[in-house]
């Protein structure tokens, strides 16, 4: 494999072999309606694909189309690949709300239990990394 070649996109959960490259922007993600109780505006779709990157880490690609939805987060670090969004970490127990502006290249971290509102301006795609237990 040359430096410019990439492995084909995985179908479902798939391993990312050492020495391989995966084009995360070319992955076809299965997008589905969000649960109605999570949607606050529009009709956003979302989907993800898990990538087996080896022991000790859970890695994947997630996408959401334009619209607004709420979520309860897991421990996660992420990098935005494309799109834009405003994420509000909702106030909890006297803590003020925090607003994050996301765009390509943004690196973020969320903690388990954070309640968030995602306002997707342009379809957003990110790579996420979760700890394994």
Neighbouring residues of 71: CB distance < 8 A, sequence distance ≥ 6: 38, 115, 116, 117, 118
Provide the pLDDT for residue 14.
Answer: 59
Provide the pLDDT for residue 4.
Answer: 43
Domains of the chain: 14-131 (2.60.120.10)
Q: Does position 39 have pLDDT exceeding 70, yes or no?
A: yes
What span, in angstroms and rounded, lies between the C-alpha atoms of 67 and 16? 31
Provide the pLDDT for residue 12.
Answer: 52
Q: First and final CA of the chain: distance in angstroms? A: 34
Q: Does position 5 have pLDDT exceeding 90, yes or no?
A: no
Query: What pLDDT, in 10s, does the model give residues 54-100?
Result: 788 889 999 999 999 999 999 999 999 999 999 999 987 777 789 99
* DSSP-assigned beta bridge partners for residue 129: 59, 77
Provide the pLDDT for residue 21.
Answer: 87
Torsion of CA 43, 130, 59, 62, to 10 degrees: 10
């Amino acid at each position: 494999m040359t430096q410019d070649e990439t492995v084909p996109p995985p179908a479902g959960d798939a391993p990312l072999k050492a020495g391989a490259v995966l084009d995360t922007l070319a992955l076809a993600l299965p997008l589905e309606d969000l649960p109605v109780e999570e949607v606050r505006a529009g009709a956003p779709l979302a989907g993800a694909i898990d990538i087996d990157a080896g022991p000790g880490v859970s890695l994947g690609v997630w996408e959401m189309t334009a619209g607004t939805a709420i979520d309860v987060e897991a421990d996660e670090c992420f990098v935005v690949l494309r799109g834009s969004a405003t994420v509000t970490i909702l106030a909890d127990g006297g803590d003020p709300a925090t607003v994050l502006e996301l765009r390509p290249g943004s690196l973020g971290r969320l903690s388990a239990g954070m309640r968030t509102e995602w306002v997707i301006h342009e379809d957003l795609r990110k790579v996420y990394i979760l700890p394994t237990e």
